[in-house]
Amino acid sequence: MSHQLTEQEMHNLAMNMVGKDLESQGFEFIAVNSQLKKHPQFVCIDKNKQYYFVIVKVVLLPDNPNNYDQSWMAIFQNHARKKNAKVLFAGVGLRHTDKDYEPPVKNAKYLIEYHGVQPVSFNLN
C-alpha cells in the first residue's frame, strides 16, 4: 500500500528538482545538505566563480511556496555576504493530485508549483 510522503521525503523530492535546475543552469556544486532545517541546502559556484547559498523550502499546496521569513532571510543573507556569497531561494509546493492539503503519495502522480531559483536581496546596513 502506498503511503503519504513524509516531510523529509517531500524535502528530498524538492531538493532533486532544484538540484537538476541548478545543474541545467551551469552551477557547480561545492556542498549539498539535504537535512531538514539545515541551511543552506546547496553551496555552488557559477562560471565566474561567484559563490551561491541556495535555500530550498517545500510547502504543502495551496500554501504559497514563494513566501519566506524575511527577517530570518536578512540574517542569513548577512552571513552569506561575510562569505562573499549570494543567496538564492527555491520555493517548491507539492500536494496530492486529488486532495488539497494532503501530501503526495509515494509512487503516484502529484501536483507541483516551482518557479525556479530566485535571488534574495535586501538593503542591509
What residues make up the domain containing 57? 7-119
Give domain status of residue 52, yes or no: yes
Is the link from the previous residue into 62 a cis peptide, with omega within 30 of 0?
yes
- Phi, psi for 34 (deg, rounded to 5): -100, 10
Domain count, the chain: 1
pLDDT at 121: 75
Q: Which residue has the cell 504543502?
A: 60
Give domain status of residue 76, yes or no: yes
DSSP H helix total and E strand total for the chain: 2, 6
> What's the pTM?
0.91
Residues 10-19 have pLDDT tens digits of: 999 999 999 9
Kindly state the average pLDDT of the residues 20-49.
95
Give domain status of residue 32, yes or no: yes
CATH of the domain at 29: 3.40.1350.10
What is the Cβ-side half-sphere exposure of residue 101, based on CA atoms within 13 angstroms?
Answer: 0
pLDDT band at 99 (very low <50, low <70, confident <90, very high): confident
Give domain status of residue 124, yes or no: no
Which has the closest alpha carbon to 80: 33, 122, 37? 122
- Phi, psi for 44 (deg, rounded to 5): -145, 170
Q: Which residue has the cell 503519495?
A: 105
pLDDT at 122: 65
Give domain status of residue 1, yes or no: no
Residues 57-81 have pLDDT tens digits of: 999 999 999 999 999 999 999 999 9
Give domain status of residue 26, yes or no: yes
Q: Which residue has the cell 543573507?
A: 77
